[in-house]
Chain A
Amino acid sequence: EAQVTQNPRYLITVTGKKLTVTCSQNMNHEYMSWYRQDPGLGLRQIYYSMNVEVTDKGDVPEGYKVSRKEKRNFPLILESPSPNQTSLYFCASSPRDRTNTEAFFGQGTRLTVV
């Protein structure tokens, strides 16, 4: 089954404790991205990657890191989480295409930083 898998689905952590949210897709998509969703603000892009070893900042990259060592994986790293990073996070992937292409989302990771 074609899918994007995020782990963990739920996470409560303390301020400053490094964490990684994993994202994996099995559709051989070149393009992957991370979003956070907050009430009243909608989905905002954190980082994106057009291919292996190619990453770039989205609209709200502060406090986050990513890596793309393999095509299928795009982990999101919070080196020193803070309470303002409490949010619902989505990973998405899509094929690299200039025409209308659907983005496939993972099921989301609900992160709480206390």
Chain B
Amino acid sequence: RKEVEQDPGPFNVPEGATVAFNCTYSNSASQSFFWYRQDCRKEPKLLMSVYSSGNEDGRFTAQLNRASQYISLLIRDSKLSDSATYLCVVNPILTGGGNKLTFGTGTQLKVEL
């Protein structure tokens, strides 16, 4: 079983739609969770961190369910510019600090007119 699993998509949605991605992780000791965005083989960039209480940033909402070990990302009112690959990222926290980010393979989103 992969440490972090995502549906690869692609998700093709019309502009204005609401779309949700899920991600599951296998390491129950994982402490930090993130969604990164990657455009067309460019470098990944942090979209948002994911907190236990859930968090929202504009049209984006992230949720964490520790009991079921899954993370979700909801995008409301999709824009053409949201087209990208969304990477679910988990960090188990190394002894002594530092990030050992474990990436899912990404979910591709295509927003169409």
**Residues of A with Cβ closer than 8 Å to B?**
30-31, 33, 35, 37, 40-45, 48, 50, 58, 88, 90, 92, 94, 96-103, 105-108, 110
Interface assignment of B20: CB less than 8 Å from any CB of chain A: no
Min distance, Cβ A45 to any Cβ of chain B, angstroms: 7
A40 to B108, CA, bound (A): 12
Interface size range on B against A: 20 to 34
A58 to B8 Cα, complex, angstroms: 24
Chain B residues touching A, majority SS: loop
Nearest-CB distance from B29 to chain A (Å)? Answer: 13
Quick check: is B97 within 8 A (CB to CB) of the other chain? Answer: yes
Stretch from B9-17, B43-51, B75-83 forming part of the interface with A: B43-51
**B interface list, Cβ under 8 A from A:** 8, 31-32, 34, 41-46, 49, 51, 87, 93-94, 96-106
Which chain A residue has the least Cβ–Cβ distance from B99? A94
Are B99 and A101 in touch, CB under 8 angstroms? yes
